[in-house]
Amino acid sequence: MFSYNFFNTNYSIANSNVINTPNINVYLNHKKLVYLTFDDGPAYIVTDEILNILKNYNVKATFFVVGKEIQNKENILLRIYKEGHSIGLHSYSHDYKKLYSAEEIFINEMITTREKVKSVTGYTSTIIRFPGGSMRHLDSDFLEKLHNNSFKVYDWNISLSDGTYPNLSPDELLSIAKSCTRASPILIVLMHCNFCNENTAKVLPSIIKYYKNLGYEFKTINNDTEEYYFTFSK
Ligand SMILES: [Zn+2]
């Protein structure tokens, strides 16, 4: 039996900006927390730019990295780790067709990526994010298998849409962040740090200031963070 998932209310559609609005009563005793998450790295230039900005603002974030991207970019991965950010696993291939052809393949890709991250940083990550999100892929049996391999699943409740639309302007990305931030005390914001996400790096200072002004505290997802996944739809 898995633990009660306090985010797990409902979701609308894949890549929707606001996936769900958690029950506010659950959070009465919670602080306002925002988890900035960056998928698909490490990548040349953009991942470093994002790290520079996070350093300037003294904000820690979570990077869900792709195993095959680590080759020749070990120094970027190491920088993520050394600067106090959290590292999550985002598959080895990021190839949906292959990855979602069998649960064992998915698990093996996460294990391979976990080992790759460990070989570079010495850190063993237990947090994973499904490429494209867990919807249509996750059910209670699969979740149990993931737990048996010490993995915990994290989707998001805000998406900047910069994965599907990396060419959105910084202003457009900021508008999306503003339009989909509801009165939720806990936000998991999906962004990307791939080579094509220049505009995400450009808008990041404004995103950070926006959440700071709203009174949010920045946190990283780590082994102690309660799981957050979309309602099963499989
Ligand atoms: Zn991805």
Element housing 42 (H / E): none
Residue 130 C-alpha to ligand 1 middle, in angstroms? 8
Give the pLDDT mean for 13-36.
58
Q: What is the pLDDT of residue 1?
A: 29
Whether 94 sits among the annotated catalytic residues: the reply is: no
C-beta separation of 123 from 77 below 8 A: no
pLDDT one-digit tens code per residue, 164-215: 999 999 999 999 999 987 768 899 999 999 999 999 999 999 999 999 999 9
Q: Quote the CA–CA distance of 132 and 136 in Å, as a whole number.
A: 10
> What pTM, to 2 d.p., does this model score?
0.88
pLDDT at 4 over 60: no
CA dist list (Å): 38 to 7, 52, 85, 93, 138: 20, 14, 11, 17, 21
94 alpha carbon – ligand 1 mean position (Å): 7
Q: Catalytic site residue 192?
A: yes
Helix (H) or strand (E) holding 218: strand 217-218
Q: Ligand 1 mean position to 174 CA, how many Å?
A: 20
Ion ligand 1 neighbours (CB, 5 A) are 39-40, 131
Catalytic residue of the set 39, 48, 155, 162: 39
pLDDT tens profile 67-78: 999 999 999 999
Condensed to tens digits (0 to 9), the pLDDT of residues 25-57 reads 444 556 899 999 999 999 999 999 999 999 999
At 179, which helix (H) or strand (E)?
helix 170-180
